[in-house]
Structure 1
Amino acid sequence: FLFEGGYVGVNPVEGGAANVCLLADYAAFARGDRDPMDMVHRLMQEQPEFGALLAGATFVDGSACVVAGVDTHRPLRPWQDVLCLGDTATMIPPLCGDGMAMALRSAELAAPLTHAYLTGALSEAAWRDAYTRQWHAEFAGRLRTGRLLERVLMQPRWNDWALALGRALPPLATQVVRLTRGGVPAVDSPSGR
């Protein structure tokens, strides 16, 4: 859900609970008296769909957490003296979907290269270069798209226009979402089919 200066999302977690996470600039946060729960309640009133989604929800006391100074445009650095997995390599824009899936995929890329290095088949430089190359091939495009989309949607004068364009041209909106996601690898079924 978009609002002036940020966006908020709701993700289901275990036990029927949900995690509410928002990204806001300082001005938007200050409008909520710098209190995360005040901000959530204000957004529930301002955003009818968001409010309906959380209608009747019970908030867990003491569960609100604020992180400040998040650099959402950190350089893409999959190797920083050591191999970096997931969001240790860069800030993953929430619009890129499941950051945990990206972390697991980066581990999947790293595993055979790390094995080759540890068994002497690759030098450290070759290990670093191969992982960096594979990481960029896998993630750089979707991260670039996610960051661009985030910049557009965080600007009030652009977000309404972009959302209207997406509603008018659903295939375009679908393609933009695909550009922020990775492919889904084929998995053998247990039945062997």
Structure 2
Amino acid sequence: MKSVAIIGGGLAGLVAALHLASKGIPVTLIEKKVYPFHKVCGEYISNEVLPYLKSLHADPAPLQPATISRFMLSSPAGKTIEAALDLGGFGLSRYTFDHYLYTLAQARGVSFKLHTTVQEVLFAQDSFNLKLSDGETITADIVLGAYGKRTNLDRQLNRPFFHHRSPYIGVKYHIQLDYPKDLIALHNFKDGYAGISAIEDNRYCFCYLTTRENLKKHGTIQAMEKAVLSRNPLLRQILNEAEFLYDQPEVINEVSFATKSCIEHHILMCGDAAGMITPLCGNGMAIAIHAGKIAAETVLHYFESGRNRQLLEQQYSLNWKAAFENRLKVGRAVQHLFGSTTLSEIAVGALKYSPAVVQAIMRNTHGQPF
């Protein structure tokens, strides 16, 4: 028997499912929501992912994503630096992109269990039993954990980061605005930063990270935006001029950048479940796609070479760390320069006269085409 269960239907889970199904591996993917749905996400993807997506016959071009080639960073006072993006990227909403990958995977034989959660994962005699919220139990040779930033399954697995509260919340809108379509901009404010970039259908993703304390102090998201974000003149312009396309923003709590293990109880973790790059450095979507590729390739090697689980886990851990460990470390280091108003002003001022440093940070937080 060869079977894989994937917990979570975000980018890492969907591309891994597509990859494995293309090689004839039976895949069951469990997702707590029903496609299409919105997610808190910056919705910018580096072009490093395009060769792989095309190899899966999942080229995003038919979705008409925005083409992004320039980067801007602003301080809380509105000082800016700009740089060209070496590889460039594209903007595409998770609502559209995830649903597209889901329909492709479904057409290629992936079995989906939607509106379903995994209550417990048990490993015994070299296989897994997954107890689902609908009362069903499924078995699998391999389990991939691709369920995002934080779930109750992390509690069940007793993952160390779960027991330490994170101060961060994420907020996302889709907006319409007279704004450059080729630019991704990151705007700092007190205890946070916001990103804006174009997506499909002449819309923009406006997404920011801040602290629960900021929200608690001002009472509502709208009051916080007016009192805190609007101190940055570039953010004030966006908030005053944009047409907001949601009645309410998408919000996520407990966004954690803590170091995580890419293997837990023999489950191979992918994407944000294995570690999240700070939104300030962007590119979490590209990392998730690359992680799905690494997981799928490692699982295929396991099935083809004698099913040595110890070797599987060792190889996956090595491959994951080689691809992402440095990127996540650089992201966490860069994040410490921002959030504080004083440090942000100093950092942007210094980077304005150090274009080589800006390019080095981008190179170290973005990957090469794969």
TM-score (norm 2): 0.46
Question: Residues 136-177 of structure 1: CA distance to partner in whole angstroms, max 9, x if unpaired?
Answer: 111011100101111221223322111111001111122122
Q: Which runs of 5+ in 2 are unaligned?
A: 1-186
Change (3 A) 1:59 1:43: farther
Structure ranking higher in strand proportion: 2
Query: What amino acid is the match of 1:24?
Result: T
Give the equivalent residue in structure 1 for 2:61: none
The one of 194, 209, 225 equivalent to 1:40 is 225
Range with greater deviation from structure 2 (56-65 or 15-24) = 56-65
Q: Give me the whole-angstrom Cα distance separating, in 2, the residues matched to 1:78 and 1:27.
A: 30
Q: Give me the whole-angstrom Cα distance separating, in 1, the residues matched to 2:207 and 2:191.
A: 14
Q: Give me the whole-angstrom Cα distance separating, in 2, the residues matched to 1:53 and 1:64.
A: 15
The one of 328, 346, 350 equivalent to 1:161 is 346
Question: Residues 46-66 of structure 1: CA distance to partner in whole angstroms, max 9, x if unpaired?
Answer: 222223345532112433132
Give the equivalent residue in structure 2 for 1:92: 277
Shift of 1:110: 1.8
Query: What amino acid is the match of 2:299?
Result: T
The yes-or-no answer on 1:117 pairing with 2:290 is: no
Q: Percent of counterpart pairs with the same letter?
A: 24
Give the equivalent residue in structure 1 for 2:201: 15
Give the equivalent residue in structure 1 for 2:264: 80
Shift of 1:130: 0.5
TM-score (norm 1): 0.84
Q: SS of the counterpart of 2:247?
A: coil
Give the equivalent residue in structure 2 for 1:62: 247
Question: Residues 4-56 of structure 1: CA distance to partner in whole angstroms, max 9, x if unpaired?
Answer: 1111111322222222211112332234x232233334456322222334553
Change (3 A) 1:34 1:121: farther
Structure ranking higher in helix proportion: 1
Q: Give me the whole-angstrom Cα distance separating, in 2, the residues matched to 1:169 and 1:23.
A: 26
Query: What amino acid is the match of 2:297?
Result: P
Q: RMSD of aligned C-alpha atoms?
A: 2.0
Q: Give me the whole-angstrom Cα distance separating, in 1, the residues matched to 2:203 and 2:222.
A: 17
Does structure 1 conserve the Cα–Cα contact (< 8 Å) formed by 2:277 and 2:283? Answer: no
Shift of 1:117: 1.1
Give the equivalent residue in structure 2 for 1:28: 214
- Between 1 and 2, higher relative CO (CA 8 Å, sep ≥ 6) is seen in 2
Q: Give me the whole-angstrom Cα distance separating, in 1, the residues matched to 2:364 and 2:308.
A: 34
Q: SS of the counterpart of 1:23?
A: strand
Q: Which runs of 5+ in 1 are unaligned?
A: 186-193
Aligned length: 183
Query: What amino acid is the match of 1:9?
Result: G
